[in-house]
């Protein structure tokens, strides 16, 4: 993130956490301990600025549902606390990307010299290709 990017933080009261069982290998511990965290964040009802909300909802990301709820599942670590922090960090990265306003492209026209160079190169290339034909005696 660049230093001049706007700082938008997610309020902890707007985030809903649910402890779930983690998937994958882990032996007996994975079957009896709910160490994974599922984070749910409703973008529409959040206190984010309107522009950030719009950009966040426009992002093509499978973690954002059709209703505008961000669902992040964190199961990287063995403890709920570390998975909770990991989920919040991943949500913050998503919001930070949406907070950066994209640059507007201003259409420009090619210069007359560049147009002339392009046409000259096309003529030269055409002449090279014309010489590839069969040789006549």
Tell me if 84 is assigned to some domain: yes
Tell me if 1 is assigned to some domain: no
Tell me if 69 is assigned to some domain: yes
pLDDT of amino acid 36:
81
Specify the CATH number for the domain of residue 42: 3.30.160.20
- Residue 74 pLDDT level (bands cut at 50, 70, 90): confident
pLDDT tens for each residue of 75-120: 888 888 898 889 988 888 888 888 888 889 999 999 999 999 999 9
Tokens 């913050």 found at: 92
Tell me if 111 is assigned to some domain: no
| Domain around 25 | 12-99
Say how many domains are in the chain. 1
Indicate if the pLDDT at residue 31 is higher than 80: no
- DSSP-assigned beta bridge partners for residue 40: 16, 71
Q: Is residue 102 within 8 Å of 29, Cβ to Cβ?
A: no
Q: Is residue 37 within 8 Å of 17, Cβ to Cβ?
A: yes
Tell me if 91 is assigned to some domain: yes
Q: Is residue 69 within 8 Å of 33, Cβ to Cβ?
A: no
Burial 65-103 (b: 16+ CB within 10 A, else e): eeeeebebbbbebeebeebbebbbebbeebbbebbeeee
């Amino acid at each position: 993130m660049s230093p001049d990017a706007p700082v938008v933080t997610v309020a902890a009261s707007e985030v809903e956490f649910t402890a779930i069982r983690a998937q994958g290998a882990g032996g007996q511990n994975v079957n009896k301990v709910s160490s994974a965290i599922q984070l749910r964040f409703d973008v529409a009802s959040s206190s984010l600025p309107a522009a950030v909300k719009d950009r966040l909802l426009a992002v093509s990301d499978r973690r954002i549902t059709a209703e505008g709820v961000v669902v992040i599942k964190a199961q990287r670590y063995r403890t709920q606390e570390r998975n909770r922090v990991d989920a919040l960090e991943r949500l913050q990265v998503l919001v930070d990307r949406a907070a950066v306003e994209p640059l507007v492209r201003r259409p420009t026209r090619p210069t007359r010299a560049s147009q002339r160079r392009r046409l000259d190169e096309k003529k030269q290339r055409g002449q090279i290709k014309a010489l590839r034909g069969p040789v006549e005696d």
